[in-house]
Amino acid sequence: MKMAEIQQTNKQTINDNFFSEIRNIISEGRENSYTTINSVMVETYWKIGRRIVEEEHQGQEYAEYGKQQLKLLSEKLDEEFGKGFSFQSLYFYRKFYKCFPHLYKVNGKVSPLWKILPWSHYKRLLSVENEQMREWYMREAVEETWSYQLLDRNISTQYFERRLIAQNKGYKPKPIENKEKPDPTDIIKNPTVAEFLGLSPNSDFSESDLESAIITNLQKFLLELGKGFSFVARQQHIRTDENDYFIDLVFYNYLLKSFVLIDLKSNKITYQDVGQMDMYLQMYDDYKKQPDDNPTIGIILCADTDGDVAKYSTLAKNDRMFASKYKLYMPTQEELRKEIERQKQFYQLQKKATQQIENDNSDK
């Protein structure tokens, strides 16, 4: 027998299950170490912020005095511990405590109302000035395990404000409390910001191009649509006794327990678009919806909305049908704010017309 063969024969192997268990122990240990380090770091920053605020309350209000105190504190901490306690860092710790004063109980334990996120998440949340919005984003980040990138994008694109529930008259930001029976307006956003599709708003493209771009970027599109969506079909075929029909995109929302049909329009919405979606909804309920499913929802994703269509078409009569405008670039915060206001007016026209129809029917 050759020497190489003898060495190969005598070479010992390791049990795969044994190796797998050791690997899992190491991975779990590293994950726990990261979690522990992050928790300690977040608690440390929160306590520093609390102490800074307490010191301010003993002296003058935070203005020039407060800034000078933070500068002096930063210099002394840098001498003692090295870099990591700059004026800007201390400012964030102070703001962290003021934005989340109840994050920890007196004994240092996390409040049952909160869960610890990475410091990078908290730092991004500090940019949300409205307290109720900030709390909503925090809860969503915890429950949906948002990465920093996703949290950053959702705040930048005003995810909360674009939910149609936030466009009711007398709007007051608040988290969705009713988890048992969510409403479609809790989930659907308007406008839809779809810069990731890579389509230029200044060039001509067909609805087929739009559809292909969505399929190519399906994961990002699902995140942009909202919570609970899963992809079902593209160009889903429905054959009736007389004709064949093809629906652009079909999704299912497990929170709503409803199929969601999306009809893509590369132009401004028309009455014909609304009529077509109305027919699709009735057809889908007849041919595809299961007994346990709630009525099908329709979204007309269009280049622009129209007030007359919202007020006078069957869009005003059907609370399971929505029109949502898409934007093919990432707008500035001010541009997006103005667009949200425009879509709010569009939605209120639709709701006002719906209410009028309901009142007229009740008078009969």
pTM above 0.85, yes or no: no
Residue 170 has pLDDT above 50, yes or no: no
Q: What is the CA angle 313-319-320, rounded to 5?
A: 105
| Pick from 213, 256, 255: nearest CA to 234 | 213
Q: What is the pLDDT of residues 233-280, one digit of tens each?
A: 999 999 988 889 999 999 998 888 999 999 998 888 888 998 999 999
Q: What is the pLDDT of residues 217-238, one digit of tens each?
A: 888 888 788 778 889 999 999 9
Residues ≥6 apart with Cβ < 8 Å to 217: 196, 197, 198
Q: What is the pLDDT of residues 105-125, one digit of tens each?
A: 656 566 665 667 888 999 999
Q: What is the pLDDT of residues 67-86, one digit of tens each?
A: 777 888 888 888 877 777 88
What percent of the chain has pLDDT above 70?
68
Residue 188 has pLDDT above 60, yes or no: yes
Domain regions of the chain by residue span: 44-107, 183-363
pLDDT given for residue 38 in this prediction: 77
Which of the pair, 49 or 189, is modelled with greater confidence? Answer: 49
Q: Give the dihedral of Cα atoms 221, 224, 226, 229; nearest 10 deg.
A: 10
Residue 201 has pLDDT above 90, yes or no: no
Residues ≥6 apart with Cβ < 8 Å to 257: 292, 293, 294
> Mean pLDDT in the chain?
77
Rounded mean pLDDT of 278-306?
90
Residue 206 has pLDDT above 50, yes or no: yes
Determine the distance from the C-alpha atom of residue 251 to the mean position of all C-alpha atoms in its chain, rounded to a whole number.
17
- Helices 207-216 and 218-225, interaxial angle, to 10°? 100
pLDDT given for residue 251 in this prediction: 92
Q: What is the CA angle 154-161-276, rounded to 5?
A: 95
- Cis ω for the linkage preceding 191 (within 30 of 0): yes
Residue 167 has pLDDT above 50, yes or no: no
Residue 91 has pLDDT above 60, yes or no: yes
Fold of 183-363: Trna Endonuclease; Chain: A, domain 1 (3.40.1350)
pLDDT given for residue 260 in this prediction: 92
Q: How far apart are CA 1 and CA 20, in angstroms?
A: 34
Residue 171 has pLDDT above 60, yes or no: no
Q: What is the pLDDT of residues 20-68, one digit of tens each?
A: 765 776 666 666 566 677 778 888 888 888 888 887 766 555 555 667 7
Query: Could you give the 3-state DSSP secondary structure of residue 232?
Result: strand
